[in-house]
Structure 1
Amino acid sequence: MKLTVLGRSAAVLCVTAAFLAACGGDSDSDPTGDSDSQYVDGGTFTMSLAGDPGKLDPQSSASSQLFAVNQLAYDTLFFVDGESGEIGPQLAKEWTVDGTTVNVTLNEGVTCSDGSPLTATTVADNLAYVGDPKNKSPYLGTFVPAGATAEADDAAGTVTITLAAPAPFVLNGLASLPIVCDAGMKDRASLADSTLGSGPYELTEAAPGDHYTYQIRDGYTWGPDGATTAEEGMPDTVVMKIVENEGTAANLLLSGDINAAMIQGPDAKRLDAQGLFHTETEAMVGEQWYNHNEGHETSDAEVRMALTQALDFTELASVSTAGEGHLATTFASLAPASCPGDSISGALPAQDVDAASAVLDGKKFTFLYSSAAGAAVSAAAELAVQQWEAAGAEVTAKGVDETALQGAIFGTGDWDIAWVPLNVSSPDQLVPFLSGPGMADGGTNFSGIDNADYAAGVEAANAMNGTEGCDTWLEAESALVAAADIIPFANNVVKTFGNGAEFEYPGTFAPTSIRMLAE
């Protein structure tokens, strides 16, 4: 549940320009398999982030930047294989799902960065914390089903999760939930600028706005599918460096000053031309939200439809992806997508500038988008403004950094239209953002969407078993698009390039896959 604004690096939401992130994606090489590359132990791996992650409490925000750094210091119960979509072991070694009961058995010997053991009680406490609405975690209803409760048996190392209602993709959600260790659970304030997790690295230096430095943990053996920190080529130090300008990040990568950067704009072509190693992740890079809440012109369904009809989304998709992407087809598109298909193109209102002009003439709107999303997205935003103004609207466009964008979306509400791509792999993870309580009522439905057809479809789909409900999920999404409540419009293959190192980026950054290369 990046929420994450598509920039370079997370719920995922998981990639550039995502509010939410869940696991998925592919790589064009295998740094952990049979490779002809020469690996060297130790050293420093430096990766760029398009924005500062802010408060480091891993359950306080789903921004892409926080989601990226979370992977270094915190583990999840499971992981999702980026190719098969199968659930694999991480903190949990065994599990069963029987109706509304999930039984989890933890790996033995898991330790936290402070040396304490990770217990079943601590895991249950994490689920209770996220599940309590007063804590306002964006992961409630996204990675932890609303109403779920958990009981722990420390002697047996088991956690029993009881769901309030069927949750067909519950394991996928738990595979994205960072688990905080006991000391952090007892002192949440300490998590703002330090880490208390069981992950492969521990934060040693925080310089907000500039960089965050992490040191490897010896003896780590419980990573995704048994990954350890003893593998040849693992760096001793990982630095996450804040580089807001994509062109600057590309230059630093080419010069060898950084080892990894996610690039989604025109700079990707010149990096490709240099033959640099890269991974690829299919991601949504264009998703148009309207503020449905009172006090905004966009609270009127007729106005939302007119703003939609004014635009040529095929052209916007091409411009926002520098000609490399395509129109979005589903809301949950991160590979491996649980419900592939097309819920968008058949429901998308056709462009009709005359109809739009009859409604929009003289109306004023504030339009926000991420300045960290790259030059192509900025160009697409300018094009959208031109098309709205051609239909008579007065639009003030603001390219803002991710901190300001999230502050508006989740705080001030000072926006009418926003481009905020949410990237997830299963459609249930989006439900809290597309329905239910709004921010004022402790929910995460920040745009105030209230679509009865969508809500009915979600209820029906949740009663079905996993992918058996996919057609119903897609029909529910189509209802949102047909009503112009929200318009996902552009997907692209986003590349994360490497220089001096190889790694995997399956939707989210995978630190145990980093391999430093000999010069």
Structure 2
Amino acid sequence: MRHVRTAAGLGVTALALAACGGGSGGGGEAVSGGTFVFAVAADPGNLDPQASAASGLFQITHFAYDSLLGLDADGEVVSQMATDWSVDGSTVTLTMDPDVTCSDGTPFTAEDAAENINYVADPANQSPFLGVFVPDGVTATGAEDGTVTLTLAAPAPFVLNGLAGVPMVCSAGLADRDSLTDSTLGTGPFQLTEAVPNDHYTYTVRDDYTWGPDGASTSTEGTPDQVVFQIVPNETTAANQLLSGEVNAAQIIGPDFDRLESAGLFSTSVTAVLGEQWYNQTAGRPASDPAVRLALTQAVDFEQVAKVLSADRGGPGTSFAASAPSACGGDSVSDAMPDVDADAAAATLDAAGWVAGADGTRAKGGTPLAITFLYDTELGASGSAAAELVTTAWQDLGVTVDVTPQDETASISTLFGSGDWDAAWVQLNVSSPDQVVPFVSGTVVPDGNNFAHIANPDYDALVAQASTMEGTDGCDTWLQAEAALVSSADVFPFANQESTFFGSGAEFALGDGLIPTSIRMQG
């Protein structure tokens, strides 16, 4: 989501769907060959492309795996592995490109495509893409003539958009899922040739690749021979390596942004959710009490937090599916956000029985109001400063706060595993509102994606209504549904920003991450 991006990138950064970012700075003659070094903040862990929605994995996946369809800069569906497609009621039909081959030399067939869809659609496989990119209850069949047929169990107004986010695994990988943990078996422009966890991952170009977006191929002038994903947890270190030429690309969102921009480096950006507040409503956790969620929200000036988090280069949150190209533009947040009022927050807790003691610490029935606040270390110094603002406001309210910074890999393990958190910043970057649904409703972890255990009947009713409408016809209703989540203080995006990648010695374009076939090495 792409941060599922996370998201979904989650980081679940599920995971931005697709929009080419315009570039500035840089310039030079394209020169083929060489090594493109991409600095990434965290190790992706298990490399199975259908096993996690973390943005780090989502980004690295694009180099070795293709999807059935793509989205252009305007959000229109375009060909990728499928050259033709149609939707007729509950039936989706795709025609596969017969020339697509896997990194092991085998052809990629319609049967393989169907098996991928059915794997994700099987709840037993616990793929985070189920309900996000692949509709619940869908079944797929592949025919020898290259036709893939999907049968929908319920209306799915953005089903084609979702298919653009599903990486396709080749038959050998489908037969041996364990092999995907530290190797790649896809149809993408590169294949993994070396994996050193927590240090680097090396991908080598496929010379026979000709079926990329808009006919992109690896024979285009400027394509590198290798791409190395270098794990660089510290953003300032990544910025220094850009300036020294040790790395060719890195995402920079913190205070180092200004000095890189001043240096005239190439840069390109896409819109992304930068800050999104979630509350854990698991029974027995403090935020299962609606009064606690409301008070924690009322106590914080999230407009100021957004300015600090974005180093004053972003703006307030507007909608849950804000990643360009957004299928439903609009603002579901501003009018629904509870007003900032520390006195009202205190009164909310008092009325709910969370009373301050002699030392100012609140408790109810002898249980202290103590929360674990999780935020992403990849937000850098700006993230730490913004988290401190929130922590201070909550402590002034009488809440005991355990601040827990974690990188994306660790935070996803906490959210979907231990569940030991109460408030969290998780950037769920998606471009159509239906992709949000499984994260904010329905089946909870470990069997589903609803990691915050949210149950909002108003949201559910509006989603059911919007799902019966065709595509963007339902956007107003989708936005009303999102507003129901905000007004109940279940979850809300509070900061948007242009997500910027800088380049040194190379140029490239952005979509749902850096587009592999857009890389142009420069001499």
TM-score range, shorter chain: over 0.9
Aligned residue in 1 for 2:359: none
2:514 to 509, 512, 518: 509
- The question of whether the paired residues in 2 share the 8 Å contact of 1:11 and 1:22 is answered with no
Aligned residue in 2 for 1:79: 70
- The question of whether the paired residues in 2 share the 8 Å contact of 1:12 and 1:22 is answered with no
Alignment of structure 1 residues 183-202 onto 2, 5 Å = 183-202=172-191
Deviations 1:7-37 (A, max 9, x none): xxx4444697724242235222699xxxx73
- The question of whether the paired residues in 1 share the 8 Å contact of 2:10 and 2:54 is answered with no
What is the DSSP-based 3-state SS (H/G/I as helix, E as strand, rest coil) of the residue aligned with 1:457?
A: helix
1:410 to 398, 412, 416: 416
What is the DSSP-based 3-state SS (H/G/I as helix, E as strand, rest coil) of the residue aligned with 1:287?
A: strand
* Amino acid paired to 1:94: D
**Partners of 1:484 and 1:267 in 2: how far apart?**
33
1:93 to 69, 72, 83: 83
- The question of whether the paired residues in 1 share the 8 Å contact of 2:84 and 2:96 is answered with yes
Aligned residue in 1 for 2:382: 376
2:142 to 148, 152, 173: 152
**Partners of 1:30 and 1:108 in 2: how far apart?**
39
- The question of whether the paired residues in 2 share the 8 Å contact of 1:14 and 1:22 is answered with no
- The question of whether the paired residues in 2 share the 8 Å contact of 1:504 and 1:510 is answered with yes
What is the DSSP-based 3-state SS (H/G/I as helix, E as strand, rest coil) of the residue aligned with 2:465?
A: helix
- What is the CA distance between 1:357 and its match in structure 2? 2.1
- The question of whether the paired residues in 2 share the 8 Å contact of 1:15 and 1:507 is answered with no
Aligned residue in 1 for 2:316: 327
Deviations 1:47-97 (A, max 9, x none): 011100000000000101100110000000111112x11111110001111
Aligned residue in 1 for 2:427: 421
- The question of whether the paired residues in 1 share the 8 Å contact of 2:30 and 2:521 is answered with yes
What is the DSSP-based 3-state SS (H/G/I as helix, E as strand, rest coil) of the residue aligned with 2:162?
A: helix
- The question of whether the paired residues in 2 share the 8 Å contact of 1:326 and 1:492 is answered with yes
Deviations 1:157-177 (A, max 9, x none): 010001111111111110010
* Residues 15 and 510 of structure 1, relative CA distance in 2, 3 Å threshold: farther
- The question of whether the paired residues in 1 share the 8 Å contact of 2:3 and 2:11 is answered with no
- What is the CA distance between 1:266 and its match in structure 2? 1.2
**Partners of 2:47 and 2:9 in 1: how far apart?**
16
What is the DSSP-based 3-state SS (H/G/I as helix, E as strand, rest coil) of the residue aligned with 1:348?
A: coil
**Partners of 1:268 and 1:171 in 2: how far apart?**
36
Aligned residue in 2 for 1:2: 2
Given the alignment of the two structures, is residue 26 of structure 1 paired with residue 31 of structure 2, yes or no? no
Aligned residue in 2 for 1:239: 228
**Partners of 2:313 and 2:79 in 1: how far apart?**
35
Given the alignment of the two structures, is residue 263 of structure 1 paired with residue 252 of structure 2, yes or no? yes
Deviations 1:123-152 (A, max 9, x none): 000000000001000000000000011111
Aligned residue in 2 for 1:139: 129
- The question of whether the paired residues in 2 share the 8 Å contact of 1:40 and 1:516 is answered with yes
What is the DSSP-based 3-state SS (H/G/I as helix, E as strand, rest coil) of the residue aligned with 1:73?
A: coil
* Amino acid paired to 1:381: A
- The question of whether the paired residues in 2 share the 8 Å contact of 1:284 and 1:328 is answered with yes
- The question of whether the paired residues in 2 share the 8 Å contact of 1:16 and 1:262 is answered with no
Aligned residue in 2 for 1:453: 458
- The question of whether the paired residues in 2 share the 8 Å contact of 1:46 and 1:241 is answered with yes
Alignment of structure 1 residues 262-301 onto 2, 5 Å = 262-301=251-290
Alignment of structure 1 residues 158-237 onto 2, 5 Å = 158-237=147-226
What is the DSSP-based 3-state SS (H/G/I as helix, E as strand, rest coil) of the residue aligned with 1:26?
A: coil
- The question of whether the paired residues in 2 share the 8 Å contact of 1:339 and 1:427 is answered with yes
- What is the CA distance between 1:214 and its match in structure 2? 0.3
- What is the CA distance between 1:506 and its match in structure 2? 1.6
- The question of whether the paired residues in 2 share the 8 Å contact of 1:14 and 1:507 is answered with no
What is the DSSP-based 3-state SS (H/G/I as helix, E as strand, rest coil) of the residue aligned with 1:492?
A: strand
In the superposition, the TM-score normalised over structure 1's length comes to 0.95
Could you tell me which runs of 5 or more consecutive residues in structure 2 were left unpaired when the two chains were aligned. Answer: 357-361, 363-368
* Amino acid paired to 1:116: T
- The question of whether the paired residues in 2 share the 8 Å contact of 1:313 and 1:489 is answered with yes
**Partners of 1:14 and 1:302 in 2: how far apart?**
30
**Partners of 2:11 and 2:435 in 1: how far apart?**
18
2:442 to 436, 439, 443: 436
Q: How many residues align?
A: 506
Given the alignment of the two structures, is residue 114 of structure 1 paired with residue 108 of structure 2, yes or no? no
**Partners of 2:51 and 2:11 in 1: how far apart?**
19
In the superposition, the TM-score normalised over structure 2's length comes to 0.95
Identity %: 54
* Residues 40 and 16 of structure 1, relative CA distance in 2, 3 Å threshold: farther
Could you tell me which runs of 5 or more consecutive residues in structure 1 were left unpaired when the two chains were aligned. Answer: 5-9
**Partners of 2:69 and 2:297 in 1: how far apart?**
39
- The question of whether the paired residues in 1 share the 8 Å contact of 2:37 and 2:230 is answered with yes
Given the alignment of the two structures, is residue 499 of structure 1 paired with residue 504 of structure 2, yes or no? yes
- The question of whether the paired residues in 1 share the 8 Å contact of 2:374 and 2:424 is answered with yes
- The question of whether the paired residues in 1 share the 8 Å contact of 2:320 and 2:492 is answered with no
Deviations 1:194-223 (A, max 9, x none): 000000000000001010000000111111
* Amino acid paired to 2:114: A
2:396 to 373, 381, 390: 390
**Partners of 1:449 and 1:13 in 2: how far apart?**
16
Aligned residue in 1 for 2:243: 254
**Partners of 1:377 and 1:332 in 2: how far apart?**
22
**Partners of 1:135 and 1:331 in 2: how far apart?**
27
- Give the RMSD, CA atoms, in angstroms: 1.5
**Partners of 1:216 and 1:344 in 2: how far apart?**
44
2:50 to 40, 50, 59: 59
Given the alignment of the two structures, is residue 473 of structure 1 paired with residue 481 of structure 2, yes or no? no
Given the alignment of the two structures, is residue 401 of structure 1 paired with residue 407 of structure 2, yes or no? yes
* Amino acid paired to 1:22: L
What is the DSSP-based 3-state SS (H/G/I as helix, E as strand, rest coil) of the residue aligned with 2:438?
A: helix
What is the DSSP-based 3-state SS (H/G/I as helix, E as strand, rest coil) of the residue aligned with 1:459?
A: helix
**Partners of 2:427 and 2:9 in 1: how far apart?**
10
What is the DSSP-based 3-state SS (H/G/I as helix, E as strand, rest coil) of the residue aligned with 1:281?
A: strand
- What is the CA distance between 1:374 and its match in structure 2? 1.4
**Partners of 1:335 and 1:30 in 2: how far apart?**
22
What is the DSSP-based 3-state SS (H/G/I as helix, E as strand, rest coil) of the residue aligned with 1:72?
A: coil
* Amino acid paired to 2:386: A
* Residues 16 and 513 of structure 1, relative CA distance in 2, 3 Å threshold: farther
